[in-house]
Amino acid sequence: MVTRTMIVGGTGQIGSELAHELRRRFGKDSVLVLGHSRRPSEGLMDSGPYETADIRDRERLLELVVRYDIQEIYHLAAVLSGVGEKDPQFAWDININGLINVLEVARERAIKVFWPSSIAVFGNNCPHVDTPQDTVLQPTTMYGVTKVAGELLCEYYHRRYGVDVRSVRYPGIISAETLPGGGTTDYAVAIFYEAVRRNQYTCFVNKDTVLPMMYMPDCINAAIDIMAAPSDSLSTRLGYNLNGISFSTAELAELVRKRSPGFAIRYEPDFRQTIADSWPDSMDDYRATEDWGWKVEWGLDRMADDMFAKLRRRLAAGTL
Ligand SMILES: NC(=O)c1ccc[n+]([C@@H]2O[C@H](COP(=O)([O-])OP(=O)(O)OC[C@H]3O[C@@H](n4cnc5c(N)ncnc54)[C@H](O)[C@@H]3O)[C@@H](O)[C@H]2O)c1
């Protein structure tokens, strides 16, 4: 029998591409996309069931879960780091009360949950290169605070109530379909869009900033693979470190210039520089590899080629 899946935050950067992939693999009617404040990208509403809800409305969530007989939730609704710093209380409300609602519904209906954490759980007081799975978690942003608290909630609901919840610490995600929603790693996406549109970009972090990133296909595979892993193979219900590819902004600009001659970049660091400086350059993700076979497929050059191909196609089609 086909598993009935709901993607909360399904119109966002990750959710919209996850929806297409899950519908492709498991059938379009088996995946309910839950939208809210972001307009769905092209094809998302026509390719399978679509509803809207505010994640803070637990009754509505439960009603949809019952109506569609949902067995798995990918909970991706969140306020990200850049937006969160502008209204920290709002970020707490969406990120924590939203997660508690999902965990409560999961407890009541025995639903399996995927909830992503982030590199934002780390702060200045831990190693920044090959950051270990278990280390000091002292984030400097409200977003990071909600990710640490969220991981602990997941672990608690698993231990106390047996909720089968699984989590990863994503690095910055690079993709060409839906724009990111206001995080600190957004520059690594915007640089490609602006290179294709105008061949120039003003970057909000400096040229020496190094952060771990990941291309969308690896991000999607990680979510689907950890959800498919046998429950007893998972040694933690906190977020698993996932390393992708690490590079400086200057290296990224060079990569772009090779594919877009004459590309010009200016650096005008803003408040997100301090956030970026507090995050790891790279993470040690051996535990994800050992427990459920995690492996990065996409390297830097292949990712850049694919980004340019996709965005140039969209520009030509008038959808960029
Ligand atoms: N994109 C990244 O680089 C990245 C990196 C690490 C972790 N993550 C995590 O992955 C998850 C998805 O991130 P994303 O980049 O797709 O985010 P996004 O900002 O692109 O999408 C978030 C989605 O949440 C929805 N949403 C916001 N408020 C809501 C509410 N009150 N009720 C229901 N839905 C609401 C929005 O409509 C949007 O579709 C988040 O938990 C994020 O913290 C993302």
For atom 1 of ligand 1, the residue with the nearest CA is 173
Task: Read off the pLDDT band of 43 (50, 70, 90).
Answer: confident
Residue 54 CA: nearest ligand 1 atom is 32
Indicate whether residue 40 lines ligand 1 (CB < 6 A): no
Active site residue 143: yes
Share of the chain above pLDDT 90, in %: 95
- Taking a C-beta distance cutoff of 8 angstroms, is the pair 174, 216 a contact? yes
Q: What is the pLDDT of residues 169-218, one digit of tens each?
A: 999 999 999 999 999 999 999 999 999 999 999 999 999 999 999 999 99
Active-site annotation holder among 68, 74, 143, 157 = 143
Residue 83 CA: nearest ligand 1 atom is 19
Q: How far apart are CA 31 and CA 23, in angstroms?
A: 6
Q: What is the pLDDT of residues 265-284, one digit of tens each?
A: 999 999 999 999 999 999 99
For range 80-103, the mean pLDDT = 97
Mutate to test the pocket of ligand 1, among 37, 51, 167, 178 (most ligand atoms within 8 A of CB): 37
Give residue for tokens 């984030």.
Answer: 139
Question: DSSP assignment of 255-273, as one string?
Answer: HHHHHSTT-EEEE---THH
Residue 214 phi, psi (nearest 5): -150, 145
Residue 10 CA: nearest ligand 1 atom is 39
- Taking a C-beta distance cutoff of 8 angstroms, is the pair 202, 249 a contact? no
Indicate whether residue 241 lines ligand 1 (CB < 6 A): no
Q: What is the pLDDT of residues 295-316, one digit of tens each?
A: 999 999 999 999 999 999 999 9
How many separate helices (H) and strands (E) can be counted in the chain?
12, 14
Indicate whether residue 231 lines ligand 1 (CB < 6 A): no
In this predicted structure, the answer to whether residue 41 has a pLDDT above a threshold of 90 is no
Distance 170 CA to ligand 1 centre (A): 12
Domains of the chain, start order: 1-320 (3.40.50.720)
Give residue for tokens 């409560």.
Answer: 104
Indicate whether residue 107 lines ligand 1 (CB < 6 A): no
In this predicted structure, the answer to whether residue 77 has a pLDDT above a threshold of 90 is yes
Residue 11 CA: nearest ligand 1 atom is 39
- Put simply, whether the predicted model's pTM sits higher than 0.95 gets the answer yes
Distance 262 CA to ligand 1 centre (A): 34
Indicate whether residue 33 lines ligand 1 (CB < 6 A): no
AA letter at 169: R
Question: DSSP assignment of 155-192, as one string?
Answer: HHHHHHH---EE-EEE-EEE-SSS---S-TTTHHHHHH
In this predicted structure, the answer to whether residue 222 has a pLDDT above a threshold of 60 is yes
User: What are the tokens at 150?
Assistant: 């969220």
